[in-house]
Amino acid sequence: MTLQEKLDAFKADFKAGRPPCNAPPEIHPVIERATRELIASGQAQRALKAGDKAPEFTLPDPDGRPVSSAALLAQSPLIVSFYRGVWCPYCNLELQALQEALPGFREFGASVIAISPQTAPNSRKSVRANALEFPILSDAHNSVAGAFSLRSALPDYLVELYRRLKNDLPTFNGDSSWTLPMPARYVIAADETILYAEVNPDYTRRPEPSDMLPVLRTAKAAWDT
Q: What residues are annotated to the active site?
A: 91
Gap between the Cα atoms of 21 and 179, Å rounded: 24
Per the CB < 8 A criterion, the answer to whether 109 and 18 are in contact is no
Torsion of CA 122, 124, 125, 127, to 10 degrees: 130
Helix %, strand %, coil % for the chain, to 5?
45, 15, 35
What is the distance in angstroms between the CA of the first residue and the CA of the last residue of the chain?
Answer: 36
